[in-house]
């Protein structure tokens, strides 16, 4: 293929399914979620004191936030989910990323039980299909931090999946902390990509149908 065609083919990692930029299309479930990145599994967990979409913090619409209670050594967890149908057919490569922030007057020196993670589940939101990214929270308060896109994951075009984001934190002492996520992005391939052009030509005509772009929470 000429360079123009190769560029178009590379679009299979830059077209996004649509995720509403407010909280309206996400389903929240406080007190539950996917287990932590690599540290010990949290065998006890409870609901965040506040777990909701908050306007005016994060992007222009707002961000999802979980506020822990003040119980010493208590693990808090919550998740948001949204279903989508993967565009195209056959094997489709996807990547994922999101923004996160952690705030609190006093945070744990070790946040092994504090994390944010982005996963793909089946349509019933019950079986893990793939983890796209998972970040253990730091022991300090970072500003909004953008994760890098994950490695490619193969999904099946035309299949319905669930995007799940889990927020978790374990308190230290009686101080509360706030875990925030925003700009959830799962990139997927465009559909109907075709390349045409005269034989021996250095130019090519390209056409494709992208899924609607969106930025997430």
pTM over 0.85: no
Taking Cα atoms as reference points, which of 190, 201, 191 lies closest to residue 2? 201
pLDDT of residue 216: 47
Contacts 24+ apart (CB under 8 A), 6-14: 8/193, 8/195, 8/206, 8/208, 9/193, 11/189, 11/190, 11/193, 11/208, 11/210, 12/92, 12/93, 12/188, 12/189, 12/190, 12/193, 13/93, 13/95, 13/149, 13/152, 13/187, 13/189, 14/187
Residue 7, helix vs strand vs coil = helix
Taking Cα atoms as reference points, which of 136, 140, 135 lies closest to residue 102? 140
pLDDT tens per residue, range 11-36: 443 445 556 667 888 999 999 999 87
Confidence of residue 214 (pLDDT cuts 50, 70, 90): very low
Give the integer Cα–Cα distance in Å for 37 and 45: 15
pLDDT of residue 57: 81
Average pLDDT over residues 199-206: 76
Per DSSP (E only), the strands in the chain are 27-30, 50-54, 63-67, 75-85, 90-104, 115-122, 128-136, 145-146, 153-157, 160-170, 177-187, 191-196, 205-209
């Amino acid at each position: 293929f000429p360079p123009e065609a190769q560029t178009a083919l590379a679009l299979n990692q830059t077209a996004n399914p649509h995720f509403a930029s407010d909280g309206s299309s996400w389903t929240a479930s406080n007190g539950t979620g996917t287990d932590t990145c690599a540290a010990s599994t949290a065998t006890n967990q409870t609901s965040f004191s506040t777990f909701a979409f908050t306007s005016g913090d994060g992007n222009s619409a707002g961000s999802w936030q979980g506020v822990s209670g003040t119980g010493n050594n208590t693990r808090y967890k919550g998740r948001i989910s949204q279903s989508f149908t993967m565009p195209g057919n056959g094997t489709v490569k996807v990547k994922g990323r999101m923004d996160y922030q952690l705030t609190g007057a006093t945070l744990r020196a070790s946040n092994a039980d504090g994390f944010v993670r982005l996963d793909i589940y089946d349509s019933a939101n019950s079986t893990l299909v793939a983890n796209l990214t998972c970040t253990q929270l730091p022991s300090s308060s970072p500003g909004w931090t953008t994760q890098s896109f994950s490695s490619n994951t193969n999904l099946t075009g035309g299949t319905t999946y669930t995007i799940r984001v889990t927020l978790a934190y374990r308190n230290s002492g009686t101080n509360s902390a706030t875990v925030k996520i925003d700009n959830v992005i799962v990139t997927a391939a465009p559909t109907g990509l075709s390349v045409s052009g005269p034989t021996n030509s250095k130019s090519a005509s390209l056409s494709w149908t992208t899924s609607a772009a969106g930025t997430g929470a």
